[in-house]
Amino acid sequence: MGSNWFFEKAEQVNPPKLSAFGVTLSSRYGQAKELIEMLSFVQELAGKNKEQKVLAVFYDSKASLCSFNPESCLLDKDIYTAALKHISQFLTLTGEHDGKVYHRHLQLIPKQATSRKGNT
């Protein structure tokens, strides 16, 4: 396949669905980058004994968007923080983060204080 490995729908990893630390990971188009992110994510969770709270992680390659099953697992602060650290882009549908798309690293940058010195 050679240079075709990096076309949008090129299956870089076969099978595109696997299990790691008891969590099902799948990538719509079998993209290596997506599977690497998901593996790093569940590896961190396993190190914190939180992997059992996540049944599956799916990366929709076409939308460049990751989702979690159950979605409510993101209510756990450790899981949410690991997602921000390892997953490039993911969608939340429950809890305080409802309906938001998060991007790795962008959410980790501390917000600047909005008030300026001298303002009351």
Residue-wise pLDDT tens digits, 19-41: 999 999 999 999 999 999 999 99
How far is C-alpha 108 from the chain's CA centre? Answer: 14
- E strands of 1-120, at which residues? 17-20, 23-27, 56-60, 65-69, 89-91, 101-103
Position 74 confidence tier, pLDDT thresholds 50, 70, 90: confident
Give the residue, 10 or 71, on which the prediction is more confident.
Answer: 10
- pLDDT at residue 113, as a whole number: 37
Decide if pLDDT at 118 tops 50: no
Name the band, by pLDDT with cuts 50, 70 and 90, for residue 108.
Answer: very low
Q: What is the pLDDT of residue 98?
A: 61
pLDDT band, very low/low/confident/very high, at 94 (cuts 50, 70, 90): low
Res 21: pLDDT: 98
Q: What is the pLDDT of residue 60?
A: 95
Q: Are 42 and 23 in contact (CB under 8 A)?
A: yes
Task: Out of 11-25, 45-59, 82-96, pick the least confident.
Answer: 82-96
